[in-house]
Amino acid sequence: MSHTGTAYSNPENARCAGKIMAEDETQFACFTAEISDAIQKVWKDPAVQKLYERRSEINLNDSSKYFLENLSNINRLDFTPTPRDLIMSYVPTVGVQNVIFSAGNRVFQLFDIGGQRIDRRKWATMYDGIDAIFFCIAISEYDQVMVEDPGTNRLQDSLSLLEKISNEPKFKNTPLLLFLNEIDVFREKLPLFPLESHLPGYKGSSNRIAVYLLSDYFTSYQYRS
């Protein structure tokens, strides 16, 4: 963990980490028993657990804990992903993904558009013929910053983007459905990273109040112009 300036609580785990890093990451296969054991030892190291609590500072994905704690089950030749495994997996949307599916007697076309700033300039080409907009916000990112702009809070960036889309003239009569995602991670992080440190004016004391407040916070920014 040299790049974070953190030392392992158990010096032996530094050697375990060395074994892991020496593995050929281009090979897709189950880990050997030795490597699997090394990964679990490193993950359980108290210093690593403390670092995971600060994951927002190093942009470590929230689902890391899930897969590391389920490594013994996943690292099997006969492993079949469960619906929960698929939900927890993280594959960032790049560009524009077009999905066509049917439900009942109707056919739907869904455009999944990457939220990174480099992808947003492509959005203008999708503005025509839209029947509804689904805007998803990971509220667990309230304490994180943009990868491409470390000076911008991710939640504030989502807020600015929501306001821009809400006030786009072409969407004046288009239903906009707001989804607050990753509420489970949000609840886990609140005791460690108080919401009031990142959202001025918040004085609530419970998870439910925090979720409702964020819902009102984002909804209030729609159609301001």
- Tens of pLDDT along 27-83? 788 999 999 999 999 999 999 999 988 887 777 888 899 999 999 999 999 999 999
Confidence of residue 155 (pLDDT cuts 50, 70, 90): confident
Q: Say whether domain 2-88 belongs to CATH 3.20.20.70.
A: no
Q: Is 184 annotated as a binding residue?
A: yes
CATH class as words, domain 127-219: alpha beta
Going from N- to C-terminal start, the domains of the chain cover 2-88, 127-219
10 Å Cβ neighbour count for 30?
12
Percent of the chain's residues with pLDDT above 70:
79
Q: Is 222 annotated as a binding residue?
A: no
Q: Is 201 annotated as a binding residue?
A: no
The pLDDT value given to residue 96:
77
Q: Is 63 annotated as a binding residue?
A: yes
Q: Is 93 annotated as a binding residue?
A: yes
Q: Is 183 annotated as a binding residue?
A: yes
Q: Is 35 annotated as a binding residue?
A: no
Residues whose CB is less than 8 angstroms from the CB of residue 145 and which lie 6 or more positions away in sequence, other chains included: 151, 152, 153, 154
The pLDDT value given to residue 225:
41
The pLDDT value given to residue 44:
95
Percent of the chain's residues with pLDDT above 90:
28
Q: Is 116 annotated as a binding residue?
A: yes
pLDDT (tens digit per residue) in 173-219: 889 888 888 888 888 888 888 877 777 666 666 566 676 666 676 66
By the 8 A CB rule, do 168 and 225 touch? no
Equal CATH topology for 2-88 and 127-219 = no
The pLDDT value given to residue 69:
95
pTM of the model: 0.69
Q: Is 20 annotated as a binding residue?
A: no
| pLDDT at residue 144 is higher than 90 | no
Token pair, residue 197, equals: 């440190």
The phi-psi region of residue 164 (left if phi > 0; otherwise alpha if psi is between -120 and 50; otherwise beta) is alpha
Higher pLDDT, residue 117 or 148: 148
The pLDDT value given to residue 224:
44
| pLDDT at residue 165 is higher than 80 | yes
